[in-house]
C-alpha cells in the first residue's frame, strides 16, 4: 500500500442542480431538490434489542428541569382516584 502525500486539491465540480440543467432539466433549484424525493419505501425489519439501560433513581420522578421531585409520585396516585 502506498502512503503517498496528498496532491493539490482539484477544482470544484458541478452541483447536482448544474448537472441536471446540463442534461435537460428546466426547473428552479427548489424544483430540482423536490425531484430527488421518491416515494416512501417499505418499512424495514425490526432491529435487535438494545442493551439494558442503567437503573433509575428509586422512588423519584425526574422533572423537565432536571430536579428530582419525591412528592410527584404521591400526587399522581392521589390524582388517579385516591382521596385525602
Q: Give tens-digit pLDDT for 14-53.
A: 998 899 999 999 999 999 888 888 999 999 999 999 999 9
H helices of the chain, in order, are 16-22, 29-35, 72-79
Overall average pLDDT of the 57-67 stretch? 64
- Entry pTM: 0.36
Q: Are 61 and 69 contacting, i.e. CB atoms less than 8 angstroms apart? A: yes
Amino acid at each position: 500500500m502506498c502512503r503517498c502525500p496528498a496532491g493539490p486539491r482539484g477544482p470544484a465540480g458541478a452541483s447536482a442542480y448544474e448537472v441536471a440543467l446540463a442534461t435537460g432539466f428546466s426547473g428552479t433549484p427548489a424544483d430540482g431538490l423536490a425531484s430527488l424525493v421518491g416515494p416512501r419505501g417499505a418499512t424495514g425489519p425490526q432491529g435487535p434489542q438494545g442493551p439494558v439501560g442503567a437503573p433509575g433513581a428509586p422512588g423519584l420522578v425526574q422533572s423537565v428541569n432536571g430536579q428530582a421531585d419525591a412528592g410527584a409520585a404521591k400526587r399522581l396516585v392521589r390524582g388517579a382516584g385516591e382521596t385525602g
